[in-house]
Structure 1
């Protein structure tokens, strides 16, 4: 791949352009908003100049509702050897392209499973996709050259290729991406009118659950509108669990003869939650490991994180994961260091010797 045209210079398009430009590909940028393309170019993602001829790759990174029309225009104009889109839904755009009578041998639907709460070219990063799954949805009619170019793009972005059927992909992201966004937003919406006293009690749990609720509503409305059926199916199952949970809680509140049955129903939901959470891939995509947590009081000041990691290194301990729980209104917090169980005692002893205050 020597040349690429990226149509749509938001977070995903600009991030892909930055990765390609960093690998020596001549990238041309196009956007319906010239200012966005100009910002992406200023960040080193490519040039706003029109390509002189056909590009090796055309990446369409526009909202789902505009994917088919944008691709149809590009294919009709012969702007590239291979055409990819990076939308978060795959079945709908392909069916729209088929209805438009497009030759789809040069097209491949893809979806990089990466993103962040902020959007736009200024939020883009060349390493956004590193280590993340990048779904490819080829069909029997997909040209081999197109698949190879797609794999080259994934390689340049240091992502991990995953081949799936388009409709299976849409059902999967409804479960692992689109429904969590809605549920997070629903929980966060309860805080909008909550008493200030209640809000001040927010801890790490509510922060974890509502983190993605900070995402752009307009962007998510476009995504959900492109995949409504599969998302509604997952939400219907969640709603059934919610309805049963509400009934169980009412029964417990009434303290009548149904209390034992209600408690059993609640326990079933919680245990199924344990089972599902245990299936979420852990470090490096492997099965979740069981770590021991060493919790340390840490000051909110420059150098503290570097110091505690350096002390862990002196102890010969690898930090497998980390979480910081901030103390509201205080210049301190708790850092939770997740390590292999056999390393926990040694790390705790070393940190105490180095003057750190540990917590249970």
Structure 2
């Protein structure tokens, strides 16, 4: 196993970036923190995630870019231009456009390994930052064809320090999977919970825990999620079209008021139950290595 990086720079002190920095610091890495907001750096440093980056530091073994997808290519290019490190990776929740933008931007692709830890969405605050956030979770890596072994070894060491396990995927495959398992469900939950924004508290007290669990992801940061969805627009739209078709058919059956409605709704309900059971089995089949950290999806 490759040794844990001795030094690292983490760019972006949101939940994910701070969690990466905490995990690296716990593993013995000296971490320098960078963020456009000095207050974010101060808060992350106060949590023990590292210290503020200062000019004159030698190039770090690893630079982790933990920004919104739209900012990744510029952040990687800027960091490489300034010589902040030897190997670069990111944590953005979309990969196809990010990888293409990095190439078009002129980033040094031999030193850049696109990645995405699957441990819940990022957020601008640090309340949920946790060194164990990635423990047992998949960490997707989307290397270019020209990515050298030494760059992958450094990213492997990062993943090991965070307690995650590496999964290699092509960028477009990653985005299709993310659309199905995360991005479209978030937008569906957000669309549904718009109905409750102006509801009375007395009405909402009647909601059960099942509804709270079903729409939990709608609580994510709107700007960050908007950026993610825009960077995975095609795959997410495809999922939404399929779900909208199912719902439209169900609505038509219900409006008919026909006595056959239960029979006509049964296929959708049955397939939904099969899907829920499949997810449940996958969850039960997880080993300690696969289990979500702190209940995160």
TM-score by length of 2: 0.89
1:233 corresponds to = 238
Over the aligned positions, Cα root-mean-square deviation in angstroms equals 1.9
Aligned partners of 1:273 and 1:152: how far apart in 2? Answer: 40
Structure 1 gap segments, 5+ residues each: 287-322, 324-360
Question: CA 1:82 to 1:160, structure 2 compared with 1: closer, same or farther past 3 Å?
Answer: same
Report the alpha carbon displacement of residue 268 of structure 1 after superposing the two structures with TM.
0.7
Aligned partners of 1:76 and 1:91: how far apart in 2? Answer: 23
Report the alpha carbon displacement of residue 236 of structure 1 after superposing the two structures with TM.
0.4
Moved more, 131-140 or 80-89: 131-140
Match of 1:158 among 156, 163, 171: 163
1:20 corresponds to = 24
Aligned partners of 1:247 and 1:96: how far apart in 2? Answer: 43
Corresponding pairs, count: 281
2:291 corresponds to = none
1:107-256 equivalence runs, <5 A: 107-115=112-120, 119-194=124-199, 198-251=203-256, 253=257, 255=258
Report the alpha carbon displacement of residue 119 of structure 1 after superposing the two structures with TM.
4.3
**1:56-84 CA distances to partner (integer Å, 9 max, x unpaired)?**
00000011111111111112222211100
Q: Indicate the structure with greater strand content.
A: 1
1:304 corresponds to = none
Question: CA 1:196 to 1:59, structure 2 compared with 1: closer, same or farther past 3 Å?
Answer: closer
- 1:42 matched to 2:43? The reply is no
Q: Contact 1:117/1:214 (CA < 8 Å) preserved in 2?
A: no
Aligned partners of 2:128 and 2:201: how far apart in 1? Answer: 32
Q: Contact 2:16/2:122 (CA < 8 Å) preserved in 1?
A: no
- Which structure is higher in RCO with an 8 Å CA cutoff and minimum separation 6? 2
Q: Contact 2:15/2:122 (CA < 8 Å) preserved in 1?
A: no
Moved more, 185-194 or 205-214: 185-194
- 1:67 matched to 2:61? The reply is no
1:270 corresponds to = 269
Greater C-alpha radius of gyration: 1
**1:170-221 CA distances to partner (integer Å, 9 max, x unpaired)?**
1110110011111111221122244655423211221121222222212211
Does the residue aligned with 1:105 lie in a helix, a strand or coil? helix
**1:203-255 CA distances to partner (integer Å, 9 max, x unpaired)?**
1221121222222212211111211111111000001001101011112x2x3
Q: Contact 1:39/1:122 (CA < 8 Å) preserved in 2?
A: no
Does the residue aligned with 1:4 lie in a helix, a strand or coil? strand
Structure 2 gap segments, 5+ residues each: 288-294
Q: Contact 2:31/2:51 (CA < 8 Å) preserved in 1?
A: yes
